[in-house]
Amino acid sequence: MLEGFKINCFPLNRAIRISIALPKDYNNTSRYYPVIYFMDGQNLYKDEDSYRGMALDLEETITRLSLEGKEAIYVGIAAASNPERRDLEYEDKTLAEFILSSIHPYLKTRYRMNQYIYAFACSKASYTALLLNENYIFKGFILISPDINTEKIKEIQLPKNNLAYIAVGSREQNGLCLSNALALKEHNPDIFIQEFDNQEHTEAAWKTQIYDALSYLVL
């Protein structure tokens, strides 16, 4: 069950498109569910919505997890439609701060969320997912191919007990993504790193890893 709406974000001077995928029996139960916030929410379901023309086919993964009894609320936070503006927003703290101060509190009034709140991001959006995890509300993150300024990683203060999963190619972006993953593991030795030899820095590669990554979380 997929819902969608927009929230005006004055600090970014744009409207943010939000997608909500609810468990199929959501309206027939009073259960509270884990929540996963996906950066680049425009890339989740349909190729025509993705700014690079390929979606991550999240619906297929949701169905597979549901058949195993793993249910969650999946929240997509769409990025700016202009690729250059998208990159700038993901290099800054404003979006993370707006999610924490406005989007999450609002969604909590509309949906039954339990205490297991996670962030998911690919490539440059990884910095925003990490910033969210500095807050006690978030219990972990999934990063695929983290492409982050190395100096920014040094500023991150991550809790030691959060679940954390990173999928990365050993040679992606000339080794930068793996270097980022290893630097984050120095912060938190419990971070699980799944390394691939020949992974390309593309949605085609990333969507093959979503099921294993989400299975790592408490759902």
Alpha-carbon torsion angle 81, 201, 161, 76, nearest 10: 30
Lowest mean pLDDT among 31-40, 146-155, 195-204: 195-204
Q: Which two tokens stand for residue 119?
A: 């962030």
Percent of the chain that is helix, strand, coil (3-state, to 5):
40, 25, 35
- CATH number, position 140: 3.40.50.1820
If one counts the domains in the chain, the total is 1
Residue 48's domain spans which residues? 2-215
| Distance in angstroms (rounded) separating the CA atoms of residues 166 and 118 | 13
Q: Which two tokens stand for residue 140?
A: 């972990």
This prediction's pTM: 0.95
Q: What is the mean pLDDT of the chain?
A: 92
Q: Is 69's pLDDT higher than 90?
A: yes
Q: How far is CA 83 from CA 16, 38, 55, in A?
A: 15, 17, 16
